Structure 1
Amino acid sequence: MPKNYITDIFVILFYFIAVFYFGFHFSKRKSSEEDFYLGKKQIHWVWLLFSLVATETSSLTFLSIPSLSYKGDYSFLQVSIGYIFGRTIVAYLLLPAYFGGERISIYEYLKERFGTSAQRSMSLIFTVSRILGDGIRLYVTSLPIAFLISRMNLFAWNETHVGIISLFLLSIATIIYSVYGGFRAIVFTDSLQLVIYLLGGLFSLGLLIHLTSHQNNLYGTFTQLFDSGKLSIFHLHWLDTDNSYFFLFAILGGAFISIGSHGTDLMLVQRIIASKDLQTGQKILISSGIFVCIQFLLFLSIGSLLYIFFQGKTVAPDKAFSLFIIEEIPSPFLGLLLSAILASAMSTLSSTINSLSLTWARDWGMDRFFSPKLISLIFGVILFFSSLVPFALSEQLEKGILEVGLTIFSYTLGPTIALFLFASKRSKPKFPNWIISPLLFGSILILIILTQSIKLPFTTLIPAGIFIFSSGWTLLHLAFSGSRS
C-alpha cells in the first residue's frame, strides 16, 4: 500500500470510531418510542438545526452541486433562494397544525382529517420516494471511494465492485448506530458530520484558490469566470431548450420543493417537530433555509474553480470533484475529505432509516409486532439494496444525477402539498374519504404520463402536480355536492 494513503485511512477509522461512540453513548438514554423517534423533545434547537441541514445535505450536495457550476453557472442559487421563501410559508401555514396533539408522525394529522386511508397512502409515497431517492444519494457516495481504492491497486477489482463493497460497509456502520442510538444519536452524529463536511468543503475551496492562483492571480481567475458567464445567478431570458433555471421557474420551483420537503416529508419535518414548541420549530426551519443557501454558494464556488483547474482536460462534470479529491488533496486531508463524503451520506441514510421506521411503526401499526430497532434494521437493509440500482444505469443517465434525485421527489411533492393544504382547511370534502387515496396516486401517475409527451422543466413539476390534484379535488367536490342536492 502506498505510504501516503496510510494516514488517510487512519483519519477515516478515527471518524468511524467517533460515530460509533455517539451511537452507543446515546443508546443508554433511550426509554420510550417517543425518545427513540423524537428525543422526548428535549434536544437543543441548535443541534436540531445542524441535524436538519446535515440530513438534507447528502453526498449529492457535496459531490454534484460543484458539477452544476463546473458545466454551467451559479443559477442553482435561484432554487436555494426559493427554499427560504418555501420554508417561511411552511413555518406559518403548516407547522402550527403539527404541534397540536400528541403526534409523533405528521401523517397522523392526515388520519385525523381524512382517515386511515389518506394517512397510509402518504406514508407509502414517502417510503417509495425515500428509498429510490436516497438510493441515488448513496450511489454517488461510492464514486470517490471507488476511485481511491482502485488507485491503491490492492485488489484486482473494478470500480463497480469496489463501489458496491464500500456501500455495504458504509450501510453496516450507519445501521449499527442508527438502530442502537435512535434519534438522539442520529442528531448528534449529524452535527458532527455537518462540521466535518463543511471543513472539507472549505479546505477544498482554499486549496483550489491556491492552485488556480498559480495559473492566474485571484483577480484574473475572477475576471475569466465573469467574462465567460460562469458567475451568472439569475436567468432572465427564455431559452429554446431547457428552462429549468429560468428565474421565475427556479425560484418558484425551489419554494415548492421546500414546501413539499419541509412541510410534508416526514424525515425533515421530524427534526422540526422534535423541538420543544412551535416558535422554536419555526426558528429552526427558516434558519435552515439561510444556512443551506450559504452552503450551496460554497460548493458552487468549488465547481467554478474546478472549471479553471481542469481547463483543457476532458472530465465528466459529475466526477470532477471526486477526481480532484483523489488526485490533488494531500494526506491527511484526503482522509478528511473522504470522511466528509461519508458523513454527508451517513447523515442522510441514518435519518431515512429512523424516519421510515417511525412511519411504519405509527402509521401502519407495526410497533404492535416489531420493536423500533428491528424495523430500523429492515429498512437499513432495503436502502442498501436500493443504492445498487444506479450501477445498472447507463453513463448517459448518470449525467445530471442531482436533477434525477430532485425529479424523483418532484413527481410526488405536488399532489402531497395539495393534500396537506386541503387538510389545513377547516371544511371537509363532500366526497368519501376513501377517494382521496386514488386521487393522490392518480395525480402522480397523470403527471408522470404527461411528462412523457410534454417536456417540463423539473422546477415546474411540483406546481403541475398541485394543479392536477387540486383540479381533481374540486371536480369531485362539485360532483358530490350536485348529487346530494
Structure 2
Amino acid sequence: MNLPIIDLTVFLVYVIGIIGFGASFYFKKRTPIDYITGGGRLPAWALGMSIFATYVSSISFLALPGSAYQSNWNGFVFSLSIPLAGFVAVKYFVPLYRKLQSPSAYAYLENRFGVWARVYASTCYLLTQLARMGAIMYLLALPMNALFGWSIPLIIIATGIGVVIYAMLGGIEAVVWTDAVQGVLLIIGALTCFVLIIWEMPGGFSQVYEIAHEQNKLSLGSFSFDWSQSTFWVILVYGLFINLQNFGVDQSYIQRYLGAKTESEAKISTWLGSLLYVPVSLLFFMIGTALFTYYQQFPENLPIELQSFENADKVFPYFIVSTLPKGLTGLMIAAIFAAGMSTLSTSINSSATVILEDHVKKYLFPKLPKAVEFKVLYLSSFIMGLASILIGLAFNGVSSALDAWWALASIFSGGILGLFLLGVLTQSESIIPAITGVICGLIIIAWISLEELLRAYGWPVLELHKNLAIVLGTMAVFIVGFVLGWMVNRVRAI
C-alpha cells in the first residue's frame, strides 16, 4: 500500500518541523542548568502539557486501542489511579524537590542512606528508561510496517535518530515545548479518528455501545481477589505504585518540578498533566472498542493477517491508512509519531541528566567545567538514544508490547519507591535496614518476575501476576526497612 503524496507530505513536514523546532533551542542554552531544568522559567501550562504528552506515548496511542480491541477496558483501571498519585505528588513530592533544589532526583536518597542508594536508584532508572524507549520505538514502527510494508528495523533506526537529534541538542526546553505542540496534535488526532469510526457505523454510537456491551468489551476486569490474574484490583494497585514512582522518583518529573517558576506553578502543571491523561486514555480505549465493533460489522474490510488478536496493535494503524480521508491519514500518522517522540525525547534528556549528575560529576569528575558538562550531556543523550534503538530492535516480534513493557517496568523498578518512602517516612539513621530492605525487595521482584524459569527447575513459585512484582517489591523494601530501623533505634535507646 502506497501512501498518497498529500499524506506523505503532511507527515514529513511535521517530523522535519518538530526536529527543526526542537534543535533550535540549542542556540538558547547558556548553562548546563538551562539544559536540565530550563533555568526554572518554563510556564505551568507548557510543563503540564509536557507531563501529559510524556504519559501519552505510542504505548498509549497504539497499545491501549490494541488492548481494548483484543480484550476489554481492564487496562483503563491503570489511569484511575493517577489522580490519587497526583494528589500525593502535589502534597508531598513537589515541595520536597523544590526545597532540595538538586537537579538529580536521587540526591535525596544519598543524603538519607549514602552513596549506594543513589547509584542503585539511578541505575534502575536508566534501565527502566531503556526498556520504555525500546517499547515506544517498536510501537512507532508498527503502523508503517503494517501499512506500507516498510522494514521495522529501518523505521526504528530512522525515527530514533530523528528524536535523538533534537533531544540531544535542545535540552529540556526543546522537550517541553515540542511536547506541548505534540500533546495538542495527538488529542486532535485521537478525537478526529474516534468521530470518524462512529460516523462509519450504520447505527452510530448506539450501535457501538450495543455490540460492545453484548461482547463484554466495556468490562474493567474481574472484581475477584485472584491475584494471579489481571483483575481490576491487580491493575489498580499496580497503577497506583507505578504512578507514585513516576511522580516521586522519576527524574523526568522532578526536572519539570524544578523547571516551573514557582512551587505553585509546579503544582498546577502536575495537576494539569495527570488529570488530562485520564479522559484521553479513556478515549484511546473507546477507539479500540469502536474498532472492534466496526470490524464486527465489516469483517471484509480487515485483512486476514490482522484478524488474529495477536496483531491487535496493528489494527488501529490499518484503519487509519485504509479508511481515513486523504490528508487526515498523514495527520494521524504524525499524531502517532508525536505521541512516541514526546516520550522518547523526555527519556533521553532525563537519562542524560542522571548520567551527568549521579555518575560523572558525583564520582568521576566532581569539578567539570561548564563546557565539558555540555559535552557529557550531549554524549550521554546520544548513547542512550543509540541504546534505545537497539532495545527497540529487540522488541520486534512480541505479541503485546503493552504487556511486555509493564513486565519490564516492574522488574527494573527495583523497589526504588519503597526506598524513597523509607527515607521520607522513617527516622532511622542506620543504612543496614535500608540495604536489607532493598535486598528483600529484589528477591521478591525476581521471585515473581521469573516464575516460568523457577517453575521449569521445580522451584516454588508465588502464583502471582507479574505486575505485582513492583507492588510487593516496594512493600518489602519499606516494611523490612521500617521494622529493622525500629529495632535498631530501640537497641540504641537501651
Asked if Structure 1 and Structure 2 have the same fold, meaning a TM-score greater than 0.5 normalized by the shorter chain, the answer is yes
Cα deviations by residue, 1:66-94 (Å, 9 ceiling, x for unpaired): 12221222233322111111121122123
The reply on whether 1:304 has 2:289 as its aligned counterpart is: yes
Separation in 2, partners of 1:441, 1:182: 35
In structure 2, C-alpha distance between the alignment counterparts of 1:196 and 1:204, rounded to whole Å: 12
| Alignment-derived partner of residue 221 in structure 1 | 208
- Per-residue CA distance 1:295-354 (angstroms, 9 max, x = gap): 111111100111112224624222221222232233211111111111111111111111
Aligned residue among 387, 390, 394 for 1:385:
390
Aligned match of 2:194: 205
After superposition, the C-alpha distances for 1:237-264 in whole angstroms (9 at most, x for unaligned) are: 456x953232x33333322221011211
Q: Name the residue aligned to 2:157.
A: 168
Q: What is the distance in 2 between the residues matched to 1:341 and 1:331?
A: 16
For residues 258-291 of structure 1, the C-alpha deviation after alignment (integer angstroms, 9 at most, x for no partner) is: 1011211112332233212222222222332221
**TM-fit CA distance, 1:14:** 0.8
Cα–Cα, structure 1 residues 114 and 127, in superposed 2: closer, same or farther, change >3 Å?
same
1:364 aligns with 359
Offset, 1:460: 3.0
Tell me, yes or no, if the aligned pair for 2:127 and 2:412 is still in contact at 8 Å.
Answer: no
Contact 1:260 1:414 in 2 (8 A): no
What displacement does 1:359 show? 0.6
The letter for the 1-side match of 2:143 is P
Q: Say which of 447, 461, 464 aligns to 1:449.
A: 447
The Cα offsets for residues 361-419 of structure 1, whole Å up to 9 and x where unpaired, read as 1111347365222221222212111211112x5xxxx2332122122222344721111
Q: 1:441 to 1:62 in 2, by over 3 A?
A: farther
Alignment partner, residue 154 of structure 1: none
Determine the structure 2 residue equivalent to 1:285: 270
Amino acid at match of 2:465: P
Q: 1:244 aligns with which of 214, 222, 230?
A: 230
> What's the CA shift for 1:437?
5.2
Alignment partner for residue 331 of structure 2, among 333, 336, 340?
336
Structure 2 segments unaligned to the other structure (5+ residues): 452-460
SS in 2 for 1:49: helix
Is 2:90–2:270's contact at 8 Å kept on the other side of the alignment? yes
2: distance between equivalents of 1:47 and 1:483? 51
Matched, 1:86 2:72: no
Instruction: Decide whether the 8 Å contact of 1:196 with 1:343 is kept in 2.
Output: yes
Distance 1:129 1:200 in 2: 28
Q: What's 2:106 paired with?
A: 107
Pairwise CA distance, 1:56: 1.9
CA distance in 2, matches of 1:40, 1:63: 34
Query: What secondary structure is seen at the aligned counterpart in 2 of 1:76?
Result: helix
Gaps of 5+ in 1: 151-158
Does structure 1 retain, via aligned residues, the 8 Å contact 2:172–2:349?
yes
Going from structure 1 to structure 2, the CA distance change for 1:236 and 1:31 (only over 3 Å counts) comes to same
Choose which of 462, 468, 473 in structure 1 pairs with 2:470: 462
Query: Alpha-carbon deviation of 1:459?
Result: 4.6
Q: Partners in 2 of 1:251 and 1:74 — Cα distance?
A: 12
What is the identity, as a one-letter code, of the residue corresponding to 1:75?
A: N
Going from structure 1 to structure 2, the CA distance change for 1:217 and 1:56 (only over 3 Å counts) comes to: closer
Q: How far did 1:33 drift?
A: 1.1
Letter in 2 for 1:443: G
Q: 1:425 aligns to what?
A: 425
Give me the whole-angstrom Cα distance separating, in 1, the residues matched to 2:410 and 2:383: 26
| Residue in structure 1 matched with residue 458 of structure 2 by the alignment | none
State the match for 1:12 in structure 2: 11
Deviations along 1:24-66, one digit per CA (max 9) or x if unpaired, are: 3322210011100110110100000111111121111000101
User: What is the deviation of 1:426?
Assistant: 6.1
8 Å Cα contact 2:422-2:481 kept in structure 1: no
Contact 1:86 1:259 in 2 (8 A): yes
- Whole-Å separation in 2 of the counterparts to 1:131 and 1:100: 29
Moved more, 59-68 or 223-232: 223-232
Number of equivalenced pairs: 463
8 A contact 1:261–1:413 mirrored in 2 = no
Q: Partners of 1:166 and 1:471 in 2: how far apart? A: 45
Asked whether the equivalents of residues 88 and 285 of structure 1 are also in contact (C-alpha less than 8 Å), the reply is: no
SS of residue matched to 2:359:
coil
After superposition, the Cα gap between the structure-2 partners of 1:217 and 1:58, relative to the gap in structure 1 and judged at 3 Å, is closer
CA distance in structure 2 between the aligned counterparts of 1:340 and 1:470, rounded to whole angstroms: 41
Closer, same or farther: CA 224–444 of 1 in aligned 2, 3 Å: same
- Offset from partner CA, 1:147-170 (integer Å, 9 cap, x none): 2332xxxxxxxx5xx111111111
CA distance in 2, matches of 1:258, 1:226: 30
* Alignment root-mean-square deviation, CA: 2.4
Contact 1:208 1:305 in 2 (8 A): yes
Cα deviation, residue 438, structure 1: 6.7
Percentage of matched positions with identical amino acids: 24
